[in-house]
Amino acid sequence: MAGKVVSYFISGILLLSISTPLGLADEDAEINKQKENILSLIEAGKFSEAKAATDKMVVEYPGQAKLPDMLYWIAGRFQTFDRFEDAKQIQEQIIRDYPDSPWAKKARMGYAMTEAISLVVSGKFAEAKEVTDKMAADFAGNPDLAETLYWISGRFQAFDRFEEAKQICD
């Protein structure tokens, strides 16, 4: 039995080494490290540094398959810290540069969400409600829509706009 386990283990290592070139694994690790650094910069309020590091990551890894994914999460973190223009710029970049990626679809909804929340935060509640209503129609059937609307309604609630929040959730 132990011989079979060792045999399967060695076969697995050989298969892994054939299917995952070492350089690709190193590149994945490096881009993940850069993403985590960028997210930390955003959380520390170092927005300009985070934006510069994001731009550098895009230049260094132009063909990296994980790049749209990484950019999506970076945009989301900018949005969480009310850095709406930074978030929208990155979301637009995903949509433009990776139109066939599943992250482009997520970025489209993320862009609409960022726009709605930025309008709420700036006190333009009627415009924010219009953007939210359009988003609900445009993304009907999207499995992420309910959660997205939930977060937007929470922003309305934070400004004591309970009627709009309720309408969004109905």
Reported as a single tens digit per residue, the pLDDT across 137-163 is 999 999 999 999 999 999 999 999 999
In the prediction, which pLDDT does 12 show? 42
- The pLDDT tens digits for 30-65 are 899 999 999 999 999 999 999 999 999 999 988 888
Q: How far is CA 21 from CA 14, 17, 26, 69, in A?
A: 11, 6, 9, 21
| pLDDT band for position 17 (cuts 50, 70, 90) | very low
Residue 11 predicted with pLDDT over 60 = no
Are the C-beta atoms of residues 119 and 131 closer than 8 Å to each other? yes
Residue recorded with tokens 């509640």:
125
| pLDDT band for position 169 (cuts 50, 70, 90) | confident
Are the C-beta atoms of residues 128 and 153 closer than 8 Å to each other? no
Measured over all CA atoms, what is the biggest interatomic distance in the chain, rounded to whole angstroms? 70
Burial class for 6, CB neighbours closer than 10 Å (0-12, 13-18, 19+): exposed
For the question of whether the overall pTM of this predicted structure is more than 0.85, the answer is no
User: What is the mean predicted confidence (pLDDT) over 70-97?
Assistant: 97
Half-sphere exposure of 52 (CA within 13 A, CB side): 5
In the prediction, which pLDDT does 123 show? 97
Are the C-beta atoms of residues 146 and 170 closer than 8 Å to each other? no
Q: State the amino acid at position 98 in one-letter form.
A: Y
Q: Which ranges in 20-161 belong to alpha helices (H)? A: 22-43, 47-60, 67-80, 84-97, 102-121, 125-138, 145-158
Are the C-beta atoms of residues 93 and 126 closer than 8 Å to each other? no
| pLDDT band for position 69 (cuts 50, 70, 90) | very high
Structural domains of the chain, ranges and CATH numbers in brackets: 28-169 (1.25.40.10)
